[in-house]
Amino acid sequence: MLIEDYALIGDMQSAALVGRDGSIDWLCLPRFDSPACFAKLVGDDSNGFWRLAPSKGETATRRQYAKDTLILETVWETPTGTVKVVDFMPPRHANPDLVRIVEGISGTVEMTTEIRIRFDYGRIVPWVRRADGDLHAIGGPDSVWIHTPVQLRGGGYRHTGTFTVTAGERVPFVFTWHPSHQPRPEPIDAVEELGATRLIWEDWVSRCGYTGPWRDEVVRSLITLKALTYGPTGGIVAAPTTSLPEHIGGIRNWDYRYCWLRDAAMTLDALTDSGYIGEAGAWRDWLLRAVAGRPEDLQVMYGVAGERRLPELTLGWLGGYEGSRPVRIGNGAADQLQLDVYGEVVNCLYQARKMGLPPDDHAWSIARKLLDFLDRSWDQPDEGLWEVRGPRRHFVHSKVMAWVAADRMVRVVEELGRTGPVDRWRAMRDRIHAEVCEKGFDAERGTFTQSYGSRELDAALLLIPIVGFLPPEDPRVTGTIDAIERELMPDGFVLRYPIADSIHVDGLPGAEGAFLACSFWLAEALALVGRKDEALELFERLLALCNDVGLLAEEYDPVEGRQLGNFPQAFTHIHLIRTAQALS
């Protein structure tokens, strides 16, 4: 199953991936970062999945989300009739539920379901028994109930069932998780929850302020970002998956089920620009809790509740997606120094205030402390935006975002009436700007470079006009865009930076695909410099990469013509929205 053959469902606390063959191959409960109970996505059948499809059907005829919702509708047209499977996770009650409803459309269709529950990322085969007509699986701290009128037969550490559905008939399945030490939760009514879930999503989408020509694509991306928000705290995960590879068979496989400050800040920019101010307030509250303490202890990422220790481990019993090993949980990049994050956070707080979020004295105090630290530290080398695992460098993008932090603090004083040492912040802003223009620009080639003294380029340099570091018409901006088009677009899409055996920027072997957000950056930059026709052409090419339900992964392999990396990726959908807004 290709990465783009999956669709997302979720309840704003966790998420599942559903394949075109009707199989749920990834589900972590009760949180995004909890151990998976279906882990076939990064293993094999023995690591858990749940397939529900016609007995003689391979892949679905078509599928779609019910309009403006996260309710997935998968349709099979068979020789004997047509059937639809409706998959969704209702907004949570006491415990997480996953609902699947089989609906007969025409004729009569024989359906088959196969369920292999495996706790702890496919490692634990649970004890399964029947209780009150339902199936109950238990293993360690995890307990699952499956409630359905279909008779499920056990054997070979799996459960299967075959049944028929006729036109107008509905057959529900409800999968409910709860801690094994607690009593069984009350079962929900699948059909009632379908209606309630539909109304909740439609009401949320009705608040969208975007009215441009790409409304469907923007709304689908906004829904995806909302689905990646952990409701109880406001934290936003980068993706709901771990270890989907950046190169098939390679080792660039990372766990993205955490809250990167950068990704979350950019998500909030996209949401606030689309009219969702409440989400900005919830994220600000999460941020203030997560970063509380010394500003020098700021991490680039946290757990969904603000956890700081995210130790990186490998799961040796999982074979990896298409053999791409290792499968990792946790993320060692949490301990890196990435100076650009300070700029992202301060910019997000500034933009949210500009869009109407009420002032908060605590948030302002923390922002001032962050600037105090950055004023002492911006001239240090760091690991940068791309979380390189090689030596620290003076990355130009990191310095530019430090400039953004100082600039936005000045603007808060000048535009929003706050008080602070604005003269010191202006001086800091000027020092950073002068140094970047002196040390980060290659005058011979007419382009900014990835780091001081290097010749390599970096797609993040495209953000220089977007964040306002230099005006779009500046020849240093247009020269950088031209250089990136020449050197980082071998197959029509933008690479993050050059990767070759002779270049050791990130300290890792192997290749990767084109990073999709970078191509959206190029489209936005082209529009800013007046090359709007080229920007539109690139944007439309990027939209054509969306899968059949409008989702995008982290990267794209233009040679093999397939998506790569964790899926769906918030960073990609953020910049789809931002580019659509810019072009509109």
CA 550 to the chain's CA centroid:
14
- In angstroms, rounded to a whole number, what is the distance separating the alpha carbons of residues 111 and 192? 23
- In angstroms, rounded to a whole number, what is the distance separating the alpha carbons of residues 214 and 378? 39
Query: Residue 353 above 50 pLDDT?
Result: yes
DSSP reduced 3-state for 268: helix
pLDDT in tens, 537-549: 999 999 999 999 9
Sequence-ordered list of residues with C-beta below 8 angstroms from that of 147, at least 6 positions apart, any chain: 134, 173, 174, 176, 187
66 touches 9 (CB < 8 A): no
- In angstroms, rounded to a whole number, what is the distance separating the alpha carbons of residues 403 and 229? 29
> Where does residue 281 rank: exposed (0-12), middle (13-18), buried (19+ CB within 10 A)?
middle
pLDDT in tens, 275-310: 888 888 888 888 888 888 777 788 999 999 999 999
pTM above 0.85, yes or no: yes
The pLDDT score that the predictor gives to residue 95 is 96
CB-based burial, 348-365: b 16+ in 10 Å, e otherwise: bbbbbbebebeebeebbe
| Residue 82, strand partner residues | 77, 106
> Where does residue 492 rank: exposed (0-12), middle (13-18), buried (19+ CB within 10 A)?
exposed
Query: Residue 503 above 70 pLDDT?
Result: no
Query: Residue 322 above 80 pLDDT?
Result: yes
Element (H, E) at 171: strand 170-179
Query: Residue 226 above 60 pLDDT?
Result: yes
pLDDT in tens, 146-172: 999 999 999 999 999 999 999 999 999
**Count, residues in the chain:** 584
Predicted confidence band at 450 (pLDDT cuts at 50, 70, 90)? very high
The pLDDT score that the predictor gives to residue 500 is 59
- In angstroms, rounded to a whole number, what is the distance separating the alpha carbons of residues 386 and 394? 13
CA 475 to the chain's CA centroid:
34
Q: What is the DSSP string of 532-578?
A: HHHHHHHHHHHHTTS-TTS---SEEETTTTEEESSSS-HHHHHHHHH
364 touches 352 (CB < 8 A): no
Q: What is the mean pLDDT of the chain?
A: 94
> Where does residue 44 rank: exposed (0-12), middle (13-18), buried (19+ CB within 10 A)?
middle
- In angstroms, rounded to a whole number, what is the distance separating the alpha carbons of residues 420 and 547? 48
Predicted confidence band at 502 (pLDDT cuts at 50, 70, 90)? very low
For residue 205 the two structure tokens come to: 């989408």
Q: Say whether the peptide bond before residue 30 is cis (omega within 30 degrees of 0).
A: yes
CB-based burial, 131-165: b 16+ in 10 Å, e otherwise: eeebbbbbbeebbbbbbbebebeeeeebbbbebbb
